[in-house]
């Protein structure tokens, strides 16, 4: 809810800025928030910068919602401070405590400057809400950063687990290990198609020995992959069909519009025929020579 | 002439290379011109090179299917070549099937495919309906 | 931007592509949203009598996305459910426009009132 609240907090912060800074630093020192990884000067620096931003932010009149443009530079400063402190070894909640510690001196300032009890109560509440939001922001930003790291690692994991192997001139093999979900299918398709382009492959053998179950969804993903390869001019052969899988496929009435073989060996033999190649029997088998 | 889209003849094949992001009028003009050219040149094969296309939507898909349909009626084989991986993945996701359209990786393979199909067709016809 | 003629459809593709690149989409994701936009833009021109497109870059924490809103004041779609099933078409063609576009996006919403137009919004996240 974006409402401009009537409050004298901006004025107070503006007028008594220096007093607020000094009191805040004193409070933090008293509470042991200084020392360890952060020096008094560094803390003073961070506190001053934050209060300067706070002055600007409250001047915008927006106390309910800190996601708007008036608070952009404040949020950005908090992100910087949070990162600095993370490097210095502080946990995200410790950085949040840094923000929350401003409450005491701020309430003290309000108490000193506001006579009317009702007004004081109201202004206290406004100030409290605002500082809560700012403190929460530091924790949220940290969390989102972690989520991004996890997401990237997941992507890398998926990529690592879909190798595409070139068996022969125009024949590729794609051994699938693990379940095939839609995210994985996307990566599989991308890897396979790019390899088809770079190798000029005309046949792709998709081996599903390592795929535990084939249900309707997995079958759909397989069909998508096969269709995509076909659009690139490569035929597909599915290999590694275990007996249970064959039964499931028939049971579910799945129409796999593609040739399938039980073993990779059979699939490879078929692929060779398709590209017009064959395996020749030599007159005498040659044992490995020295150094071979 | 199909506006900005040139139609080349290589032996008994027609090669169309789509370089521009086509708008509808151009696509319709191409269909018409191709049909005329197939008849004029008695082409046995039509190759459509879409390697420059970053997007193939259902409209273009329709156009390709139409071309394939018309050329089949005129006893010519249609091969689409050069589809980009991103396009192939999107088409599959879109659920678009190019019916009666064969695909090959590039112009070379496309020509080889057309040759194979025509030759097999010839052999089949020569040996009688089998 | 205005979506009135078939030339505009080409312009829509270019604009959506540029914004998808700005949002940091992979090539495949770019292709998907541009293709979806092309489908809906065509509908807007051919069936909606022309309309408008609003492109918005979305940001939710670390996530980046793109939102497209097409609006027209055309005759509207009488049977929305049927129009969303594959193969349905009122003109000639494959009729995959709406359902296909939906499959290519993460978020898809359509509001159509016969007689007063149609609004389609699509969104894709990185």
Query: In terms of CA atoms, which chain B residue is nearest residue A227?
Result: B92
Kindly determine whether residue B92 and residue A190, on different chains, have CB atoms separated by under 8 Å: no
Q: Is the pLDDT of residue A5 over 70?
A: no
CATH code (residue A256):
3.30.750.24
Tally Cβ neighbours within 10 Å of residue B42: 10
Asked if residue A266 is part of any domain, the answer here is: yes
Helix axes B24-41, C6-22, angle to 10 degrees: 110
Judge if A19 and A146 occupy the same domain: yes
Read off the pLDDT of each residue in B69-92 and give the average, rounded to a whole number.
93
**CATH class of the domain defined by C2-125:** alpha beta
Show Cβ contacts of residue B68 under 8 Å, excluding neighbours closer than 6 positions.
Answer: B78, B98, B99, B100, B101
By Cβ distance, the residue of A147, A186, A190 closest to C62 is A147
Q: What is the SS3 string spanning A255-266?
A: CCCCEECCCHHH
Residues A136 and A27 in one domain: yes
Tens of pLDDT, residue by residue over B86-118, are: 999 999 988 887 877 899 999 999 999 999 998
Contacts of C62 in chain A (CB under 8 A): 144-145, 147-148
**Do residue A145 and residue C62 have CB atoms under 8 angstroms apart?**
yes
**Same structural domain, A188 and A137:** no
Element housing A60 (H / E): none
Total of domains in chain A = 2
Position C90 scores a pLDDT of 45
User: What are the extents of the domains in chain B?
Assistant: 7-126
Most confident of A195-204, B13-22, C2-11: A195-204
Asked if residue A137 and residue A177 are part of one domain, the reply reads no
**Are residues A15 and A141 both part of a single domain?**
yes
Query: Domains of chain C: which residue ranges?
Result: 2-125
Residue A170 lies in a domain: yes
Nearest C-alpha neighbor of C75 from the set C102, C98, C104, C44: C44
Judgement on whether residues A153 and A231 belong to the same structural domain of the protein: no
Nearest to A224 among B83, B87, B92 (CB): B92
Instruction: Say yes or no for a CB contact (<8 Å) between C28 and A145.
Output: no
Residues A114-168: pLDDT tens digits?
888 888 888 888 889 888 988 888 888 778 777 878 888 887 777 677 789 999 8
Q: CB of B77 within 8 A of CB of B114?
A: yes
Average pLDDT, chain B: 86
CB contact B88 to C (< 8 Å): no
Q: Are residues A73 and A151 in the same domain?
A: yes
Contact (CB<8Å) A228/B89 = yes
Q: Which domain holds residue A246?
A: 165-274
The answer on A15 and A152 residing in a single domain is yes
Calculate mean pLDDT across residues A23-52: 79
What is the rounded average pLDDT of the residues A29-40? 73
Interface test with B, best of C30, C40, C94 (most B CBs within 10 A): C94
How far is A137 from chain B, CA to nearest CA, in Å? 38
* Fold that domain B7-126 belongs to in CATH: Transcription Regulator spoIIAA (3.30.750)
Contacting partners of chain A (3+ CB pairs under 8 A):
B, C
Long-range contacts, A125-131 (Cβ 8 Å, 24+): A126/A5, A126/A7, A126/A9, A126/A63, A127/A9, A127/A103, A128/A103, A129/A63, A129/A64, A130/A58, A130/A63, A130/A66, A131/A99, A131/A100, A131/A102, A131/A103, A131/A106
Q: Are residues A37 and A117 in the same domain?
A: yes
Residue C60 touches partner A, C-beta closer than 8 Å? no
Residue B100, φ and ψ in degrees, nearest 5: 65, 15
């Amino acid at each position: 809810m974006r409402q401009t609240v009537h409050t004298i907090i901006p004025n107070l912060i503006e007028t008594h800025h220096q007093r607020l800074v000094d009191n805040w630093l004193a409070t933090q020192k008293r509470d042991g928030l200084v020392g360890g990884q952060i020096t008094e000067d560094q803390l003073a620096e961070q506190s001053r910068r934050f209060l300067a931003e706070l002055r600007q932010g409250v001047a915008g009149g927006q106390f309910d919602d800190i996601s708007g443009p008036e608070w952009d530079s404040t949020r950005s400063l908090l992100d910087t401070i949070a990162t600095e402190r993370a490097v210095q070894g502080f946990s995200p909640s410790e950085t949040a405590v840094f923000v929350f510690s401003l409450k005491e001196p701020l309430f003290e300032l309000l108490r000193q400057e506001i006579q009317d009890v009702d007004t004081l109560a109201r202004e206290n509440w406004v100030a409290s809400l605002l500082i809560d939001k700012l403190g929460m922001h530091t924790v949220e930003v940290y969390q989102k950063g972690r989520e991004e790291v996890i997401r990237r690692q997941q992507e890398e994991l998926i990529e690592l687990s879909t190798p595409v192997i070139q068996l022969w001139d125009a024949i590729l093999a794609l051994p699938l290990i693990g379940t095939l979900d839609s995210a994985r299918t996307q990566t599989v398709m991308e890897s396979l198609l790019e390899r088809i382009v770079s190798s000029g492959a005309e046949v792709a053998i998709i081996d599903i020995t390592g795929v535990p179950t084939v249900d309707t969804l997995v079958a759909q993903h397989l069909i998508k992959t096969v269709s995509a390869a076909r659009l690139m001019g490569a035929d597909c052969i599915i290999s590694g069909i275990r007996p249970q899988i064959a039964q499931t496929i028939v049971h579910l009435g799945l129409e796999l519009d593609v040739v399938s073989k039980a073993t990779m060996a059979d699939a490879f033999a078929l692929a060779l025929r398709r590209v017009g190649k064959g395996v020749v029997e030599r007159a005498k088998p040659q044992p490995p020579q020295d150094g071979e | 002439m199909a506006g900005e889209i040139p139609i080349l003849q290589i032996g008994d094949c027609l090669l169309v290379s789509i370089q521009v992001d086509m708008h509808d009028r151009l696509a319709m003009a191409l269909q018409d011109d191709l049909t005329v050219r197939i008849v004029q040149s008695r082409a046995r094969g039509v190759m459509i090179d879409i390697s420059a296309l970053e997007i193939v939507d259902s409209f273009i898909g329709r156009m390709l299917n139409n071309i394939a349909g018309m050329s089949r009626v005129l006893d010519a084989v249609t091969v689409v070549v050069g589809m980009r991986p991103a396009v192939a993945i999107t088409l599959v996701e879109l659920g678009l099937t190019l019916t009666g359209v064969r695909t090959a990786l590039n112009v070379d393979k496309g020509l080889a495919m057309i040759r194979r199909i025509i030759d097999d067709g010839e052999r089949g016809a020569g040996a009688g309906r089998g | 931007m205005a979506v009135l003629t078939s030339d505009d459809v080409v312009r829509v593709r270019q604009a959506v592509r540029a914004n998808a690149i700005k949002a940091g989409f992979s090539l495949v994701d770019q292709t998907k949203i541009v293709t979806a936009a092309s489908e809906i833009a065509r509908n807007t021109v051919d069936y909606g009598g022309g309309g408008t497109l609003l492109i918005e870059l979305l940001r939710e924490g670390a996530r980046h996305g793109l939102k497209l809103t097409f609006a027209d004041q055309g005759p509207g779609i009488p049977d929305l459910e049927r129009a969303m099933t594959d193969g349905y078409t009122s003109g000639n063609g494959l009729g995959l426009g709406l359902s296909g576009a939906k499959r290519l996006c993460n978020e898809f919403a359509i509001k159509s009132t016969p007689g007063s137009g149609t609004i389609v919004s699509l969104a894709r996240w990185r």
